[in-house]
Structure 1
Amino acid sequence: MVDPSSAPRLSNAPWLSAPGIQAVFRAVESLGEDIRAVGGAVRNTILECPVADIDLATTARPEAVLAAAEAAGLRSIPTGLDHGTVTIIADGAPYEVTTLRQDVETFGRQAKVVFGRDWRADALRRDFSMNALYADRAGTIHDPLNGLPDCLARRVRFIGDPATRIREDYLRILRFFRIHAAYGKGAFDNDGLLACIRQRDGLRQLSAERIGMEMKRLVAAPGAAEALAVMEDAGLLEITTAGVSRIADFRALRSLDQEAPETRHATLGFAVLSGFVDEDLDRIADRFRLSNAERNRMHGALRAAALMPQTPSGDVPIKTALYRVGREAAIEGVLAAWARARAKGAPPDVDEDFRAVLHAGRTLPIPDFPLKGRDFIEFGLAPGPELGRAMKALEAFWIDSGFDIGRDELLAKLAMSGSASVDT
């Protein structure tokens, strides 16, 4: 048994001393049971990365956790009692508390499990050694599988036999690349990589929702470019996206991380990685079950990128993008175009051009066409196709002028055109 006084401890873990989590610890420990933080919160604290979600593991059974929460005046939700998970809301924050488990029979995600009290058995069910670390309320790290050295070395290694871990859930193939992209350092673990390649057809069994959720997190990770390149070389990326990818463009996009936070947005990543034409973006949106807003965001970025010349100069292209697709898509279009220019070997001075256009995209007001439909009606055009064509032609004339023509000049142009058409 490890002497607690000599065991490693978490440092700089303000989440661990928060009133909410301490209330959860007290509630469960009042039962005479053990409870520890596990997984991402512990790993991220060790690696000095931001902590988002906090998961807890306990020797207490789920029904006892529910009763302890109620007795402590905490709100509890039976999130997944069959799997031993209860969500406790404390001080406004949710904490998932899951009873220790061990596999009895394995059928992929439908593995039959029993609740237990063995921390090592619970750790053996997890995916990677750096995720099988626990911390008690005092911050003492419990490491039943000796995963701490892997975590400190940023080495992403499957627990036990990689092929067995993957067959339990084929999503672990994508998680292997995503966790490495987020936290890994150096080369991929060779045994894990070979197992992913040999089991790659298992990706075809996964639901679109699960693939999409994992891929959104992967393309946003710091090391996404290298991870995706390895996936492509291994024949995994084509299975995942069901199409051809532009790795060089994506790598160039992520080389712009210091220029703009938008380079880490998943939708822009997908647009640059797979967006040759609109049909590609629709395929990705369907493949990953993206929302309509996410789909439209990708299309907007692609449209804006098409408006950017390879060597941008002046404000007209970015003003056009702002007018056509809005500020968010215009900015992402600039970044997509910049990435493609870099991927094609554009000289360094082009960076300054794109940097100026990016600044303009953030600061210029969005142009507003000075005329409305009623202005055309007052000049004798009846509502309908003819009015629409006239309005579109005059709008194009205004855009071609660099958005410099004002309302009076446009009205004069409309007056001279008569009621039949607008000659631009």
Structure 2
Amino acid sequence: MSLNVDDRLRESDWLRAPGIQAVFSAVEQEGDEARTVGGAIRNTLLGYPVPDVDIATTARPEIVMKRAQDAGLKPIGTGIDHGTITIISGGFPYEVTTLREDVETYGRQARVVFGRDWEKDARRRDFTMNALYADRHGHLHDPLGGLEDCLARRVRFIGDPDARIREDYLRILRFFRIFAAYGKGELDREGLGACLRHRDGLRQLSAERIGHEMRRLLSAPLAAYALKMMNDCGLWEIATGGLARIEDYEALRLLDEVARETRDPELGLVVLAGFVREDLERICDRLRLSNAERKRMQTAWAVMKKLRNSEAFPEAAALTYEFGKQATVDGLLAIWSGRIARNSADRGAFSNMLSAVRHQAVPEFPIKGADLIASGHKPGPALGKLLKHLESEWITSGFTLTRQQLLEHSRPES
């Protein structure tokens, strides 16, 4: 088993990259060691992409800075007070953190003690599957026996779950998020119990940190199950300040293989929290969502509302012209999660409509105010009213009226 694991690590593209090997060469001097740790190893062993690579080292942060500079690399003291240096090598950023131990925590304030003991460093981490290390040659180091949990996709806190959570209450959300991304079976009972006992600790976290973690959770494959468990434990309401339509979200995620948008956090939040428009505003503020995320949620909700109030699906061209293609797709998926998921008679119509929208070219109104002025109309409020009238006629015609026909309809009186 270990040989197979070492082979997988050794053959991984990210570990063989010249950039990371240059970091190892720079840091590993005068008896210091460096090892990759956490997500890169976990993802490699489970067959997931590796978006970033963290490195742990026995070298102190100021020494890491100097050695990187001397090697011609670019070090940045992103978190030097906590022992973390970002080193740019081969155009890729690597976070290099000095081993830590005996950290006294006061909420998010901590007294960091640097060390050289790999097992003590591992015991300060969150989950067993994240406490795996590998040297530059791909040899796995497993000080806490986390390999078995990783391969079995068991998400377990290291040591006492209550102690791990008290160190940082964000680990409550990370417990559900890591499970949603990599887990299998049921949530660990001890971990779940600790999350329940310390749920009020979520109230101490900043909106930005909660929002960042919730976005990542909503994108994960098992988000529906994880969110259901969070909701059952009262964690969703504490984190978001509102109620959740879990059944609707479960129905939405049944379409994961049909529509890539089902994993987008914006659409997920519309389905989970969009009882009324004010709910969207509340959750956008609560999670500190960006203006772009807020706008997408608002337009998706508008489409969903229109479809909810319609006895039959409007034409695809009409919806895409009014709301845009992305919002129309979002609205269709959102309405599926409610009415249609519980009405098999609507499913065929929904499927046809979704396909039509995806292939629909968004209609473009063929005339502008300048065209009307060129044909003899005077600028002013009346011109704007005429343009809106012509646009309405064009929409009513099913977008079939041509530019010439519209101009003929608008000829000024002699």
Shorter-chain-normalised TM-score: which range?
over 0.9
Gapped regions of structure 1 (runs ≥ 5): 420-424
- What residue identity is the alignment partner of 1:336? A
Question: In the aligned structure 2, how far is the partner of 1:108 from the partner of 1:102?
Answer: 17
- What residue identity is the alignment partner of 2:398? G
Question: In the aligned structure 2, how far is the partner of 1:137 from the partner of 1:103?
Answer: 27
Q: 2:334 aligns with which of 333, 336, 341?
A: 336
Contact 1:178/1:218 (8 A) holds in 2: yes
- What residue identity is the alignment partner of 1:325? F
Question: Which string of whole-angstrom CA distances, capped at 9 and with x for unpartnered residues, describes residues 371-424 of structure 1?
Answer: 32245555656523x5444433442332233222223333344459x79xxxxx
Question: In the aligned structure 2, how far is the partner of 1:64 from the partner of 1:393?
Answer: 72
1:346 pairs with 2:343: yes
- What residue identity is the alignment partner of 1:9? D
Name the SS of the counterpart of 1:88 in structure 2.
strand
Match in the other structure for 1:9: 6
Deviation, structure 1 residue 267: 1.1
Match in the other structure for 1:46: 45
Question: Cα–Cα, structure 1 residues 241 and 390, in superposed 2: closer, same or farther, change >3 Å?
Answer: farther
Counterparts of 1:23-422 in structure 2, within 5 Å, are 23-308=22-307, 316-343=314-341, 345-347=342-344, 350-375=346-371, 380=377, 382-384=379-381, 386-415=382-411
- What residue identity is the alignment partner of 1:346? N
Contact 2:181/2:221 (8 A) holds in 1: yes
Question: Cα–Cα, structure 1 residues 72 and 318, in superposed 2: closer, same or farther, change >3 Å?
Answer: same
- What residue identity is the alignment partner of 1:142? H
- What residue identity is the alignment partner of 2:322? R
Deviation, structure 1 residue 60: 0.5
Contact 1:307/1:320 (8 A) holds in 2: no
Name the SS of the counterpart of 1:399 in structure 2.
helix
Deviation, structure 1 residue 362: 2.4
Question: In the aligned structure 1, how far is the partner of 2:339 from the partner of 2:411?
Answer: 43
Contact 1:312/1:354 (8 A) holds in 2: no
CA RMSD of aligned residues (A): 2.3
Name the SS of the counterpart of 1:244 in structure 2.
coil
Deviation, structure 1 residue 7: 9.8
Deviation, structure 1 residue 21: 0.7
- What residue identity is the alignment partner of 1:369? F
Contact 1:311/1:353 (8 A) holds in 2: no
Question: Cα–Cα, structure 1 residues 104 and 374, in superposed 2: closer, same or farther, change >3 Å?
Answer: closer
Contact 2:5/2:45 (8 A) holds in 1: no
Name the SS of the counterpart of 2:282 in structure 1.
helix
Question: In the aligned structure 2, how far is the partner of 1:364 from the partner of 1:322?
Answer: 8
Please give the TM-score of this superposition, normalised by the length of structure 2.
0.92
Name the SS of the counterpart of 1:232 in structure 2.
helix
- What residue identity is the alignment partner of 2:324? G
Match in the other structure for 1:422: none
- What residue identity is the alignment partner of 2:318? T
Greater shift in the superposed pair: 171-180 or 390-399: 390-399
Gapped regions of structure 2 (runs ≥ 5): none
- What residue identity is the alignment partner of 1:186? G
Question: Cα–Cα, structure 1 residues 6 and 252, in superposed 2: closer, same or farther, change >3 Å?
Answer: closer
- What residue identity is the alignment partner of 1:410? L
Question: Which string of whole-angstrom CA distances, capped at 9 and with x for unpartnered residues, describes residues 282-314 of structure 1?
Answer: 11111111111111111122223334467865x
Question: Which string of whole-angstrom CA distances, capped at 9 and with x for unpartnered residues, describes residues 322-368 of structure 1?
Answer: 1122222222222222333443x121x64343333223222221111
Identity level (%): 57
Question: In the aligned structure 1, how far is the partner of 2:3 from the partner of 2:288?
Answer: 49
Question: In the aligned structure 2, how far is the partner of 1:357 from the partner of 1:104?
Answer: 56
Greater shift in the superposed pair: 364-373 or 151-160: 364-373
Name the SS of the counterpart of 2:315 in structure 1.
helix
Question: Cα–Cα, structure 1 residues 375 and 277, in superposed 2: closer, same or farther, change >3 Å?
Answer: farther
